[in-house]
Amino acid sequence: MVEPDFDKRGGLVTAIAQDADNGEILMVAYMNREAWRHTIATRRGKYWSTSRNELWVKGDTSGHVQHVREIFVDCDADVVLLKVEQTGAACHEGYRNCFFRRLDGETWRVIADRVTP
Amino acid sequence: MVEPDFDKRGGLVTAIAQDADNGEILMVAYMNREAWRHTIATRRGKYWSTSRNELWVKGDTSGHVQHVREIFVDCDADVVLLKVEQTGAACHEGYRNCFFRRLDGETWRVIADRVTP
């Protein structure tokens, strides 16, 4: 099994989840080797939480599951790109994606509505 | 000036450059506060190299400049998304984007051609 380079950044790689249909960047998280292997085996996005120091499967508590359609790795092998089918909100704040604030002059402007409460 | 949260991950935020026209994810790099401020001021992508420990402006040596059209921040404020107009190759290996290898069974398969030698 080929793998990204977990040694470069202390055991973790950055993982970007992108909507497989429309190219929208949904969220950015981290994977350790266990999360990576689980994701490959199940085609469900599993990540390592750097704030809680634990593994989590996207959607296990929220129901907003993530089916992984394709996986890419970058030239440096320390970032992986998952093209996914995302149910509901990818962002834990209820937005479809985590990038709902755009720089507008001197402020961040919220440019999306929540898709879940 | 609003800023992402540079304190969360030791002074750096992750920066994703996405093609503003077609949604293609071009590259992932890092920014410190100086790179961020320079990018905002000039609308040219500037980054912090974690391998060389120095600032670099995308395209300064290669000519493959990156004009930043829009900037977004994620819910945790430690990832920024730049929607850019990219000249030539975003990847230092000559590919249009850095994600030119796709997981195909047990191997990485190169799925793009170089756009520059």
Reply yes or no on whether the pLDDT at B117 is more than 90: no
Q: How many Å apart are CA B5 and CA B20, to the nearest integer?
A: 24
Contact B28 A16 (CB under 8 A): yes
Q: Three-state DSSP class for B33?
A: helix
A7 has a chain B CB within 8 A of its CB = no
Across the interface, which of A27, A73, A108 has its CB nearest the CB of B108?
A73
- When pLDDT is cut at 50, 70 and 90, the band that residue B31 belongs to is very high
Q: How far off is chain A from B71, nearest CA to CA, in Å?
A: 5
pLDDT digits (tens, 9 = 90+) for B40-98: 999 999 999 999 999 999 999 999 999 999 999 999 999 999 999 999 999 999 999 99
- C-alpha distances (whole Å) from A64 to each of A52, A116, B111 are 19, 10, 30
Across the interface, which of B16, B18, B75 has its CB nearest the CB of A92?
B75
Q: How many Å apart are CA B35 and CA B14, to the nearest integer?
A: 12
pLDDT at A117: 80
Residues facing residue A79 across a β-bridge: A14
Q: Is the pTM of this model over 0.80?
A: yes
Backbone angles phi, psi at A40, to 5 degrees: -60, -45
Reported ipTM: the value is 0.97
pLDDT digits (tens, 9 = 90+) for A18-73: 999 999 999 999 999 999 999 999 999 999 999 999 999 999 999 999 999 999 99
Contact B73 A24 (CB under 8 A): no
